[in-house]
Structure 1
């Protein structure tokens, strides 16, 4: 490693809790690369469960399945040593907060209204929570990056979470702004960009910033565009030195073998081509639904979105929510979220499902 690379690693590792910088974690039976024909080192059952036709589930899985890591590295254009695979993005969020934040001292910064797991993980770790609200303007909700930087500097935040595209508001954070924030907070904080909905956006991934800004980390998932929500495959792309620390803090066997095998199959060339086509179709439906919703009486505003959902303000959000439920359509009620007392979040569905949404909200059809 070059001197500059070593210095970057040392600066990044100073963000880790002092008591975890040399933490080795639990050494499981799969930690060491051992070879043999009779495996008697993990107290596994020698016979398969009667319901397990393939017999593979009697063995503990690889902690970080090699075939899956290889496929994910190709998908996200990064090196395998930059990847941490876990149980959805939620696990990576929790690991970051636990590994970097000393309880009661090191703060976590979020930009509400936003995905709630950042705040939940901070609460569980007793990490002070800093909130810099999104700004609702003509172009939609936007992050005030100057206010974020000032709040992070003033309160010694260790983690800054930027959701891009943001859930539930739909806006993306410009890469140039993320880069400037990371440069300003270098040596002070890790800037974590949550790109759970990145496939639905035209903006390049923030992983492209990581060579120049080692204190940028990116969250990705197979739950959304790849339609594998039940498999719970989440990914953190980060500097290898940080990935090693988080692996030591992670549970021994985070990725079940059936989930890993399904994910590898889903990342084949054929499956990826179909996923790409479906993402394109969803983006087209997003535009159609956005336009159609905006013409309905009782709809105050439909926000532009880079995700697979639309945030919609209503004159009477309660009635709109009830109409949709009566039509068998379940959407996300956002009325308890800050700045969203009149809003619902509607996931973009199939053309038929979207037509059903529009019919349920059309006052003329409801009256008929």
Structure 2
């Protein structure tokens, strides 16, 4: 690792008043052993609805079994992982820990996931926007414009959604690495890989050994079908993970969710997940090809995620036809650059057939 991209330079990006901040030391912070636990003011009796009785105890703040399973899944070390309530919590923690209100900016590339901008606004961080470029190959990030805007606007955080939601494109790893090199000592480049399992591109985690100012967001909500469990991870330099842990709430992940996630990361469960991801990818290709042949469809964008962005000649009519058929999709018409677009999640083969039937005006007229 180059010296100018090491942990020391990374910690210089943290708010001055939070460097060395210890946070709240909960009863589970200390690795103490005993048979009678009377240190957390918990009930000595289980709730009548809790047959096993485990829920009367506070959970481990960063459950070792879950961190180890996630580290194996993502190809990193447990010390590089911060586990929290979905990716949203990690986004909020990053903005709060790195951005001084009114001074340090957050850069985003719209149209994109809206929580980056929400977290910036809640922190009072200036928001810099470098719109995606809509070209023949789909929407793409203008990395030169991103780098220039980050330098000129004082960005501490640059969020790259890859695959991007809702547009579906991925940022090439070479571009991520080049941006991180240019912004070393200035900004943290955060690659949101919520949909990474559906893409052929390797994870940006593979770049972190050479670039300490890259962090990666992952989640079990999408490919692993655990959206309700709210298990998200930030993979980052261990020094930054320690800072964010001090800023995190004492018990971020409920025990039942941890147990469910650990079970979902067993070899057998992962094999089934892999098969379902392969089916989604196959259905994505089929649905994209079929949608492109329908009257009223203007453009279907390529996608590395489990969704397709589709432009329509009459998006309102398309949305209404889908809703009348009992199909709910994401309306993008209020989003800049997407006034004629809908985002359609890839469903089961039967669900996808239902989408096609609802949108086929010829079939509706028959």
Provide the C-alpha distance between the structure 2 equivalents of 1:170 and 1:75, rounded to a whole number of angstroms. 23
* Selected match of 2:18 from 8, 17, 20: 20
* Secondary structure class of the residue paired with 1:40: coil
Provide the C-alpha distance between the structure 2 equivalents of 1:270 and 1:316, rounded to a whole number of angstroms. 45
* Secondary structure class of the residue paired with 1:289: helix
Q: In the alignment, what sits opposite 1:97?
A: 95
* Selected match of 1:157 from 140, 155, 158: 155
Q: In the alignment, what sits opposite 1:248?
A: 246
1:147 equivalenced with 2:145 (yes/no): yes
- State the superposition RMSD in angstroms: 1.0
Query: Which deviations, in whole Å up to 9, do the C-alpha atoms of 1:181-217 show, x marking residues without a partner?
Result: 0000000000000000000000000000001100000
Provide the C-alpha distance between the structure 2 equivalents of 1:282 and 1:320, rounded to a whole number of angstroms. 23
1:304 equivalenced with 2:302 (yes/no): yes
Cα distance, 1:365 vs. partner?
1.4
* Selected match of 1:137 from 135, 145, 159: 135
Which is worse superposed, 185-194 or 6-15? 6-15
Provide the C-alpha distance between the structure 1 equivalents of 2:254 and 2:344, rounded to a whole number of angstroms. 31
Cα distance, 1:302 vs. partner?
0.1
Provide the C-alpha distance between the structure 2 equivalents of 1:341 and 1:159, rounded to a whole number of angstroms. 28
Cα distance, 1:6 vs. partner?
9.9
Query: Which deviations, in whole Å up to 9, do the C-alpha atoms of 1:267-310 show, x marking residues without a partner?
Result: 00000000000000000000000000000000000000000000
Cα 1:322–1:7 change in 2 (3 A) is: closer
Query: Which deviations, in whole Å up to 9, do the C-alpha atoms of 1:101-123 show, x marking residues without a partner?
Result: 00000000000000000000000
Q: In the alignment, what sits opposite 2:282?
A: 284
Matches within 5 A, 1:188-199: 188-199=186-197
Cα distance, 1:364 vs. partner?
1.1
Check conservation: 2:223, 2:277, Cα contact below 8 A: yes
* Secondary structure class of the residue paired with 1:364: helix
- Note the residue ranges of structure 1 that are not aligned, 5 or more in a row: none
Q: In the alignment, what sits opposite 2:317?
A: 319
Provide the C-alpha distance between the structure 1 equivalents of 2:126 and 2:350, rounded to a whole number of angstroms. 45
* Secondary structure class of the residue paired with 1:16: coil
Cα distance, 1:7 vs. partner?
7.5
Matches within 5 A, 1:123-272: 123-272=121-270
Provide the C-alpha distance between the structure 1 equivalents of 2:194 and 2:77, rounded to a whole number of angstroms. 19
TM-score, normalised relative to structure 1: 0.98
Q: In the alignment, what sits opposite 2:348?
A: 350
* Secondary structure class of the residue paired with 2:6: helix
Provide the C-alpha distance between the structure 2 equivalents of 1:79 and 1:136, rounded to a whole number of angstroms. 37
Provide the C-alpha distance between the structure 2 equivalents of 1:252 and 1:282, rounded to a whole number of angstroms. 37
Q: In the alignment, what sits opposite 2:34?
A: 36
* Secondary structure class of the residue paired with 1:344: strand
Aligned residues: 366
Query: Which deviations, in whole Å up to 9, do the C-alpha atoms of 1:63-121 show, x marking residues without a partner?
Result: 00010001000000000000000000000000000000000000000000000000000
Q: Runs of 4+ in structure 1 displaced over 4 angstroms?
A: 4-7
Query: Which deviations, in whole Å up to 9, do the C-alpha atoms of 1:18-69 show, x marking residues without a partner?
Result: 0000100000000000000000000001110100011100000000001000
Cα distance, 1:367 vs. partner?
1.3
Q: In the alignment, what sits opposite 1:367?
A: 365
* Selected match of 1:62 from 42, 60, 63: 60
* Secondary structure class of the residue paired with 1:94: helix
Query: Which deviations, in whole Å up to 9, do the C-alpha atoms of 1:238-283 show, x marking residues without a partner?
Result: 0000000000000000010000000000000000000000000000
TM-score, normalised relative to structure 2: 0.99
Cα distance, 1:10 vs. partner?
1.1
* Secondary structure class of the residue paired with 2:282: helix
